[in-house]
Structure 1
Amino acid sequence: MFPEIINSQYKILIVVSEIDHSTERIINYLSEIYQVPINVAKFYYFNNNSRELLARKFLVDPNQVQEPPVSKLSRKTNLTYEELEERAEKNGVDNIYKLVFKGLIKYPFWTNTTKSCITFTGTGKKKSAIFNLIPIESNPELGLKFKIYLTRLSEYLNKSEEVITEFLPNIEPVLQEEWSGLVVQGYFTSEESANHFLTKLNEARSNRI
């Protein structure tokens, strides 16, 4: 049996010069879906005009790797759906949160929760996150925070990234990696902006079908 309490003070960093695609997918899955604090650092050696250079590239953006708490960690670390809804209400965005949640839940997505958000994941061969709703980092002034894997949503809808950004509120890029594509974040500032997004999303998916 697994222990109820595990050591929470470690993070896993794998240092390599090469890594195969299968291992990359496993590490991305553990990090993204189950919030395992795991990453890969790939090192590249260059010799440029007698200058020796060593470059480093992380597989997962280090800012996205979950920081384990210093205190003891039980196996149940993710918030429940009810707890996330309570956080949305506490942060003054519960109406927007419920609206977007109901709008997305009707699509064929898998959903799961983490310590900070609810994730909507594609159900095809690539079971990768497409949407994150983040009530913990939301507030009445800015609205409901979201993160969208724009490249994946573009592939899912068969629409260009430029077309999709037209029906999103103001967004900013978070990261762009080979495994994730372009990831953006922003806020639904009102029910009107959330409704606009959901309407356009539904239209794009209807045209796709």
Structure 2
Amino acid sequence: MPLEQRLEDIIENDPTMLGSDVMIIGRQVVTAYGSRIDLLAVDIDGGLHILELKRDRTPRDVVAQVLDYGSWAQTLSDDAVREIYLRYCGTTDTRGFDEAFATHFGTESAPDALNTSHSLTVVAGEMDDATERLVNYLATGYNVPINVMFFDYYEDDGRSYLARTWMLDRNTSAATGTTATSARRQPQWNGQDWYVNFGEEPSRNWDDARKYGFVSAGGGKWYSRSLRQVPIGGKVFAYIPKVGYVGLGEVIGEAQPADEATLTVDGTAVPFRSLELLAEYRHTPTQPVPDEDYREWIVPVRWHKTVTRDSAFRKPGLFANQNSACNLRNQFTIGEVTNFLDQPS
């Protein structure tokens, strides 16, 4: 079998052949220098994987080529990675990448930042000593994230088999390289949009938050600290874990402990503890830690639109996070949730 002519098709159709879970996002990807990357993939952490078939090129040519691809790939922004995938799929729907990523990896959403690392893989049907020396020198001597995967082809009783072998042990070689510009590649935050995780427990209830206008968190400093950072004027995207997005609103007051908080109800300031609440908004640890803050903290919110749990908005690709609150940079999530909650009831 002319193996190297078919490997590109085989890997594209079944990237698990590589021994790791990646999603193919491009084939014959044209770089800024006019050359073409055979296959480009992304892993669950958003790292890029450059796959280049050796074919009949000399060791120097193929290694130089894949290094050149790496120098180009590390400059790609989040939007550029998504555009590569859109061209690969032949679509202009900007939601495509996030939905495909979430479906492929079984996650709630794509990572906040893509291309924070990259790896370079030369794929070959056989290996020569010169290529092995070059790759080993770069990977073990200078921590270049390069490796070689080669395949052997077998036939037995009418059945075909491919045997995969890595040249370098992936546990000891430089498997991935952090891109020099990864910090700058973090999506810009507008300083206004906040994700708030309204984790419903016996201690809190979304129906209360909808009715009286607030979000809350507590049970420990780790839970309340991030919510207390949301400023007055912050735009809140409220999310119930494993349920979906249920509210969009604006913070109208500073965070206060539940025992001291007041909320404006029908134009009147009412102490939080005097409201008719469905949950207790208290935390009683079995083994309390000294100096820990277990109080529930209340943040007043003017809701633009809320929905019930049963009507929550959830789809592949939407951002989700275990923190009580964090900056929301994911433009796919912002657009999708805003469009959903802007619809007439």
The normalised TM-score by structure 1 is 0.30
Which of the pair is proportionally richer in helix? 1
The structure whose Rg is larger is 2
Which of the pair is proportionally richer in strand? 1
